[in-house]
Structure 1
């Protein structure tokens, strides 16, 4: 065992959200470009130096992937919210939002109890009179509830939904890059096969199987980025996250008597 920081070591020291929401979409976007290298790599028994390279280069790339993945997602987020009519967490608190009246009144009562009188929720008339100011209040409420959820014993699902939303948002930000990478990867695989055939060496059945698997992986990744990674895919995760966040209003605070009694 060496002292090199491989991928496993790096991932073990990486925050779950950072890995799942920021690094994972970058890895999936650059993976097709790496497939041709696998196609022409020597046998593992003869590729000791190559294996060190395979460990070190991706590990270094992952260190750069974290800020890059987040930046690409944040770049499109405001436009997404505008297209959806606002953040789902904001829309759910609006009097004009998608909740029915009974659910909304109950939710707002519970939210008001949690945030306290220092942050009064706008009345229906106040919201109609100044929508921007009302949304600022709802945005602040969301921030309070997110901070509260991190301290709740039953708040783990909020973190999971947050990770999923972050992954989808950042993936959408990388979509153009990823489709280009998949196309380049497929061209690289074709070139690797052509190079092996032109070299005149015997092509073993195992190589043909490997090339077939790599081509199938590249095609699957291309279809994922082309057909799945869409604004509607991100929006569904955003709504799931917002609903899960507001479900935490029914979980007692960690320091409350009800929580102590459980």
Structure 2
């Protein structure tokens, strides 16, 4: 079965890399288990693959991972006190150099027509200030959807989506890896329900590879797919997003009444 062709027809590049690939990592230990211990041409393996492909298995897997990723994202935003794109524009945030941040503030007003609060306005009205920063990001994203013109933004978006979704489903992945490890140990006679409970006589190459993959994925879920990894990917995407302001054309000037209305919409920060 040509899985590459099936995936190419069902998913675009973002869905494939940011959603389906984390899902396949979830299933890598049991896939290794079935392939090495039963054989890729085994009727059970072939039949199971066909059923999963024809009954929407890949789509369900990507949707499952996306759902868990979005749930984790909401928790991460509360932990971080905002989206990375919002945090980078805050006057009180120190991740970006001050001059770079002020230049982005000027470009947001010039290119997007969104009023950015001053430092004092942000101190007095932090919630309304964050709403202005989020409005700027919401206005900028649709302008950077051209993957050929902004290839690095898309790459960082995919990287963030991948790490966020993997982080959100990490406990599922860990449970699957541990369950596969235990199943392989029983299959090879390494673990038994009667004495002797442990034996190394069944540890052949196939079972060793299953152990290696399961242990490696367990370590990956615990040590790599963390909140810090998701944070780093989110900040990289946010930086690329704001860098795109340099490439946008100047937004036509608004009438004074519209500008005043826009400022009132963002919480009357002036």
Fold match (TM-score > 0.5): yes
Match of 1:242 among 238, 241, 253: 238
Query: Which structure carries more helix by proportion?
Result: 1
Matched, 1:188 2:183: yes
1:36 to 33, 37, 42: 33
Match of 1:18 in 2: 15
Which residue of the partner structure matches residue 204 of structure 1?
Answer: none
What corresponds to 2:266 in structure 1?
none
What is the TM-score with the length of structure 1 in the denominator? Answer: 0.82
Structure 1 residues 232 and 115, CA gap change in structure 2 (3 angstroms): same
1:164 is matched with 159
Counterpart CA distance in 2 for 1:178 and 1:193 is 22
SS at match of 1:92: helix
Q: Does structure 1 retain, via aligned residues, the 8 Å contact 2:112–2:251?
A: no
Q: Secondary structure at the match of 1:154?
A: coil
Corresponding residue of 1:220: 216
Choose from 55, 72, 75 the match for 2:71: 75
How far 1:49 moved relative to its partner?
7.0
| In structure 1, C-alpha distance between the alignment counterparts of 2:168 and 2:51, rounded to whole Å | 26
Moved more, 14-23 or 57-66: 57-66
Q: Counterparts of 2:3 and 2:237 in 1: how far apart (Å)?
A: 30
Judge which range, 236-245 or 210-219, deviates more: 210-219
SS of the residue aligned with 1:185?
helix
- Relative to structure 1, the CA distance from residue 31 to residue 217 in structure 2 (aligned partners, 3 Å threshold; closer, same or farther) is same
Q: Which moved more, 1:173-182 or 1:102-111?
A: 102-111
CA RMSD, 1 decimal: 2.6
Q: Is the partner of 2:145 in helix, strand or coil?
A: helix
TM-superposition CA deviations, 1:69-93 (whole Å, max 9, x none)? 1110111212212222321110111
- Residue 215 of structure 1: CA displacement? 1.9
5+ residue gaps, structure 2, are 191-202, 253-270
Q: How does 1:1-262 map to 2 (within 5 A)?
A: 6-13=2-9, 14-42=11-39, 44=41, 47=42, 50-57=45-52, 60-98=56-94, 99-116=96-113, 119-151=114-146, 153-194=148-189, 208-253=204-249
> Would the alpha carbon gap of residues 247 and 179 (structure 1) be closer, same or farther in structure 2, given more than 3 Å must change?
same
CA-CA distance at 1:100 after TM superposition: 3.0
Distance 1:56 1:240 in 2: 39
Question: Following the alignment from structure 1 to structure 2, what is the Cα–Cα distance between the partners of residues 127 and 174?
Answer: 36
- 1:148-173 Cα deviation digits (max 9, x unpaired): 11137431111111111111111111
Distance 2:39 2:20 in 1: 28
Post-superposition offset of 1:11: 1.2
Which ranges in structure 1 are unaligned for 5 or more consecutive residues? 196-206, 257-262
Task: Provide TM-score, normalisation by structure 2.
Answer: 0.79
Task: Determine the C-alpha separation between the residues in 2 that align with 1:170 and 1:254.
Answer: 36
Residue pair 2:35, 2:45 contacting (<8 A) in 1 also: no
Would you say the 8 A contact 1:151–1:254 is kept in 2?
no
Question: How far 1:42 sits from its partner (Å)?
Answer: 4.4
